[in-house]
Structure formats: structure tokens, C-alpha cells
Amino acid sequence: MLSIIEGANYVGKTTTLDILKKKKTFMHFYHPRFNDAQHFAFNYNVAGTVIYPHNIQIPRDVVYQISHMTCLKYLVSVKDKKVLLDRCFLSEMVYNELYDKQIYHEFVNVLKTNFPYKIFLLIVNDNEVLRKRIIERLKKDHGKGFGIRDSKGFVPEPETVEEKIKSQRKIEAKYNEFVVSFGLNTLFIDTSHMKQKEVAKIIAEATA
């Protein structure tokens, strides 16, 4: 059984995964992840020669296809075990769209034909809860965000918070679009008013 934890920011993925990993009832894997670069550069040289290192650039789509297919095919070897996957190719589909959309169909086909699986898509439906989580994260990472300092310390600018809420909703919409269009076996879990232990319990019970 392949259990895949997915979701945008601020939904509690990391904490939930940490709780599940402590149960030691799953094998845990990180799926390969990339940035949004159009190409990936690799340096190489020929052994035993004085040729200077060469730099080659491989298109992002090719790197994605090789890496994700390799990961999926490796997971086939342990598909009889309970595997917990920290995100999958779905994240890349949402955050870093490829030019060749046919690759998505290949990923989905491998997943559907080789695994009993379930995607646990964590979301935050409550706007006020989401706003609070964003502010807390920005305060925690105040060196990376925008804001002002007052008597209470770092205060994120409202525009920053509102923009992040809009971005979050767009990401959630893309997740939903892919889940529906590809018919992926997915359980949506609204973490707005749930403790992460409760979220972890739902996932553990669903895979028992």
C-alpha cells in the first residue's frame, strides 16, 4: 500500500509525517523534487585526460521523467509493504508544470497499474485559520518575509499575508484539477480545526 501525503503550505504535512514516521509501521520515502529551472546543468570530464570539464544542459522535462520514473519503478519492488511517501510527482505537476503534458499520463499510468495507493491531500478550508498560520510562519521566518517591527515584534504586512492566501487557493485549485482530471484515489483532509495527531490517526487508520 502506497500512502502519499500531499498538500500546499501551511496544512501541516511535515508535522503529520513526523508523527507517522515515529509509529514505525511505514517505510518512509522522499520523492525527488526540483526547482522551476528550465534546464539542469551537469559538469563532467573524461577520466585520464586533460580536457577541461564540460557543462551540459538537460531540459527539465527529461530530468523529471527519468527521476520520477526511476522512483516509481523502485517503489514497485516494495509495493507489498506499507510505504509512506512524502509527496510525489503530483507536487511537481502542481508547482512546476512541464511542457510535455503526456509525461503526466505516464506517471499516473505507472501509479495506477502498479500500486494499491491512496493520496492524502491536506487542505485548510478556513480562511481565518489559514491567515493565522501564514502570519505565524512569517513571524517564525521573519528574515525571509516582509513586515514591520513594533512593540510586539515582527508584524507581517497585510498585503503579504493576503497574497499568500490567494496563492494558496490557486495551488489547492490545481491539486483538485489534477486529482479530478486523472481520477486519482484521493482523500481530502481539512486540517483547519484538527490537531496533527488527529490527522495522522485518520491516515494510519485508512491504511491499516
Q: Which residues contact 12 (CB under 8 A, 6 or more apart)?
A: 122, 191, 196, 199
Enter the pTM of the model. Answer: 0.80
Under a CB-based contact definition with an 8 Å cutoff, are residues 20 and 204 in contact?
Answer: yes
∠ at Cα 169 (17, 205), nearest 5°? 30
Give pLDDT tens digits for 125-172: 999 999 999 988 888 776 555 555 555 565 667 778 899 999 999 999
Residue 39's pLDDT band (cuts 50, 70, 90): very low
